[in-house]
Amino acid sequence: ERKAALSASSGPGATSDGHKVPLLANVGGPADVPAAVEAGAEGVGLFRTEFLFLDDSKKAPSEAKQVEAYRKVLEAFPEGRVVVRVLDAGADKPLDFLTPADEPNPALGVRGLRTLLDHPDVLRTQLTALAKAAEGLPVYLEVMAPMVADRTDAKAFADACREAGLNAKFGAMVEIPSAALRARSILQEVEFLSLGTNDLAQYTFAADRQVGAVSRLQDPWQPALLDLVAASAEAAKAEGKSCGVCGEAAADPLLACVLTGLGVTSLSMGAASIPYVRATLAKHTLAQCERAAAAARATDSAEEARVAAQAVLSGE
């Protein structure tokens, strides 16, 4: 039955009553593109560009090398949407030549956008390469920064994009609770938000994502995390802008319905999860998703939230 449901399910992501929720793929580079296309991804919601920087531990890849890799991904989604995240170095993704070696607490140190603002040449090369890669393609390019903490960060990133002459939408990832709490102020500087629920959980619960002993607190069903998702989605709605999810949370079909009910406007995940999320979303109305979201938020634990959402969505 599951197989039949999956094969019957193709095309754009939507609830059973036609509320569209684009289903996008998370990719690490051109090698991940065929699986994304095969799964029917409507574009890329998170292009993690770190992979390009792993070949050489001493310096950033040349502009030409970056243009080539970006173009391969952009070309795969003609008329589609591709959201590229600029380099997210540091903490769980250290790079020798950029990441300070002596930080007592790298997850709270210079990482993500903070690294790029300390190395404007690296950011400039990446943005220029993206501008060149998108030249002449019909693709709808969006570029976002990881680890945006506040409006000052968002403005610094948007300024850098403008200075590089980038013809794209600029966005901010919401991975730090401060960004979710003040999402409306961040949206004065950028055009979209994308929730990185892996880091958002880490920083909300003070629970290192690389430490298995605290994994209970990394559960994206935690009601506190759902509250921050709701705050971000509501802010985006009030500003007439979009707010997607590109963390692991989007890959859980039941949670994908809850996120939709919270007002999230697109879901990006590993390609393998797309058919399951599409099939589950297609079985429920937007109103059911909203009721499931409210039921989940009314609980006090991840386990209870999951059970409450399941009960609503299975019509109990």
Given Mg ion, ligand PEP, none, residue 247, with its beta carbon under 5 to 8 Å by kind, binds ligand PEP
CB of residue 199 to ligand PEP, shortest distance in Å: 3
Query: Shortest Cβ distance from residue 3 to Mg ion (Å)?
Result: 33
111-170 positions binding ligand PEP, by CB under 6 A: none
The structure tokens listed for 56 are 């050489």
Choice among 161, 243, 246, 289 that is catalytic:
246
Nearest CA to 116 out of 164, 82, 68, 76 is that of 164
| 246 counts as catalytic | yes
- CB neighbour list of residue 136: distance below 8 Å, 6 or more residues apart: none
Find the DSSP H helices in the chain: 2-8, 33-38, 63-75, 113-118, 120-134, 151-163, 177-181, 183-186, 197-205, 223-238, 253-262, 274-281, 286-297, 302-313
Q: What is the dihedral of CA 27, 272, 305, 207, to 10 degrees?
A: -40
* Contacted entry of ligand PEP, Mg ion, none for residue 197, CB cut-off 5 to 8 Å set by kind: ligand PEP
Give whichever of 197 and 288 is closer to Mg ion, judged by the CB atom.
197
Q: Tell whether residue 48 is a contact of ligand PEP (CB under 6 A).
A: yes
Say which entry of Mg ion, ligand PEP, none residue 82 contacts (CB below 5 to 8 A, set by partner kind): none
CA dihedral 294, 295, 296, 299 (to 10 degrees): 120
Is residue 79 marked as binding?
Answer: no
85 in a labelled binding site: yes
Of residues 237 through 266, those in contact with ligand PEP by CB under 6 A are 246-247
Q: Interface with Mg ion by CB under 5 A: which residues?
A: 175, 196, 199
Give me the residues that bind ligand PEP (CB under 6 A), please: 46, 48, 88, 175, 196-199, 246-247
